[in-house]
Chain A
Amino acid sequence: MSRLRSDRVLSFVLNAAALLCGALVLGIVLFLSIEAAPTIFSGKISAFFTDEKWQPGSERDPQFGIFSMLLASVLITLLAAILAVPVGICGAIFRVFYAPESLAKWQDRFLELLAGIPSVIFGFWGLSVIVPFINRYHPPGQSLLAAGIVLALMILPTIALTTKSALTAISPSLMAGAAALGLSRPAQILQVAIPTARKGIAAGCALGLGRAIGETMAVVMVCGNIAQIPHSVFDPVRPVTSTIALEMGYATAEHKSYLYAAGLVLVLMTALFLLVRIRKGASQW
């Protein structure tokens, strides 16, 4: 009898934990929405897209145009993708098809360590190395480019490691078949291995880019934080995440609810990348 009771207690505890976890996700969305309510439900959300500028502090004419910041988030992520995706994939190709076993092991180690470096250290390093470097040729240095480079370094290990696992998962008999047809190694890789592993690679890129668009610390320190539409990669920009990080500390009332609404927008954008990964069948567990 008491043995059955213990089973009932257990199942109660497990159910409670599961409910708590499910509630957490809803709760996050709920609390963000409550805080953002003054903008969402008063219909002022349109200001996000109609206002030209972002000048929340101005007393006479506060403006909440988020467009330039959304654009900055997207551009930074795009730039990081342009830099990191080819490099990550090529690095993984080297790891799987060219590197001797001993070297390959070291490459994995290094990538894992690079993946473990906190974003705040990436940001700090970018600020003290990348920014001065760009500044020498194209002042001010804090720029779209700097943010793109730092983010690219951050997501590189993710892309390289997922591509590696996708490539090593290819059946050896497929590659033997390609070799038996007299394909050169580059042709075997580019025309057979990569297309075969494309789903896994795409999922890895979506994982990396989803993280990139939500990244705050690595970006806020190097992007320059000027809310404007950039004309070149050397212009300073201000993505959504930086705005929240920089202004949340002092924002009040209306301003604050706009920041919470911006947070909701971020959740939506990262959820999109999650959707891509689910579509690629990469989040089955």
Chain B
Amino acid sequence: MAEESALIEVKNLSINYDDFAALRDVHLTIQKGNITALVGPSGCGKSSFLQSLNRLTDLIPGCQTTGEMILGGKNILSPGCDVLSLRRKVGMVFQKPNPFPQSIRRNFEIPLREHGFSKLETTDRMEDSLKRVGLWNEVSNRLSRSAANLSGGQQQRLCIARALALDPEVILFDEPCSALDPHASGVVEDLISSLRGSVTVVIVTHNLAQARRIADHLAVFWVRGGSGTIVETGATDALFTSATDPDAKSYLTGIRG
């Protein structure tokens, strides 16, 4: 386990879709350089929580967030927060791989040039991050071909590489393996695991075995009184063996959920 120091402090977070309170009173500390897994049944607000971490919730009409999320001394949720540089610091990888349907190179050029990197730096960073996700050998001779032609697993690794290229402090993963076949899923899981220490990872997964394999910390989401909330957090091993919350306990031991 990496050294413990809080990177993100979530206090009293609530998320509403119009009148519907999807998430209420969430408190969570995310440790720097660790992998934190968010687990729980569908519809308990895990994706909503993840999206609020880089303000993608802004894109959803009618979605409101209250509370505090402190990253680097600043509140992510405050209106004054510069979302563009926030999203550069907090990258995201989605359930369905979503490379831009343009050349592999363009997939790096678009974000990197937008954030002010020179052409030369862009090429270097593209190569570095493609190597980091183990894709370089597979695509180095077809960088100008469309990313849409890659296999699902390759596309997902490309998306991870694209996020890594911006040197983020945090990468959010929303069920990154659930649209992939078992082999590709294993490759991506190993890749996420290898990020430990260099990047802080927050990952939503429905695969408890996977959570157990890769996560240092666990946060169990549950619906209480119509709204999602975190019912228990802790070190992964400790939680799997001795959760105190009855719902969390039955969920983690596979009795319910």
Residue B111 at the A interface, CB < 8 A?
A: yes
| Inter-chain contact A173/B110, CB cutoff 8 Å | no
| Inter-chain contact B94/A191, CB cutoff 8 Å | no
Task: Please classify the interface of chain A as helix (H, G, I), strand (E, B), loop, or mixed, using the class held by over half of its residues.
Answer: helix
A40 to B99, CA, bound (A): 54
Whole-angstrom distance between the Cβ of A9 and the nearest chain B Cβ: 49
In the complex with contacts A179-B56, A181-B87, A182-B87, A187-B114 CB distance below 8 A: yes
Whole-angstrom distance between the Cβ of A101 and the nearest chain B Cβ: 8
A171 to B59, CA, bound (A): 14
A175 to B101, CA, bound (A): 12
| Inter-chain contact A184/B159, CB cutoff 8 Å | no
Residue B143 at the A interface, CB < 8 A?
A: no
Residue B46 at the A interface, CB < 8 A?
A: no
| Inter-chain contact A176/B110, CB cutoff 8 Å | no
Whole-angstrom distance between the Cβ of A235 and the nearest chain B Cβ: 42
| Inter-chain contact B98/A173, CB cutoff 8 Å | yes
Which 9 A-B residue pairs are closest in the complex by CB-CB distance? A182-B87, A180-B92, A177-B98, A182-B88, A181-B111, A182-B84, A173-B98, A191-B110, A187-B114
Binding site for B on A (CB under 8 A): 101, 171, 173-184, 187, 191-192, 195-196
Binding site for A on B (CB under 8 A): 54, 56, 59, 61, 83-88, 91-92, 94, 96, 98-102, 110-111, 114-115, 159, 162-163, 166
Beyond A182-B114, A182-B115, A195-B101, 6 additional pairs, beta carbon < 8 A: A174-B98, A177-B159, A181-B162, A182-B86, A192-B100, A196-B102
27 CB < 8 A contacts A-B: A173-B96, A174-B100, A175-B59, A176-B59, A177-B92, A177-B94, A177-B99, A177-B159, A178-B100, A179-B59, A180-B54, A180-B91, A180-B92, A180-B163, A181-B111, A181-B114, A181-B163, A181-B166, A182-B84, A182-B86, A182-B88, A183-B110, A184-B84, A191-B110, A192-B100, A192-B110, A196-B100
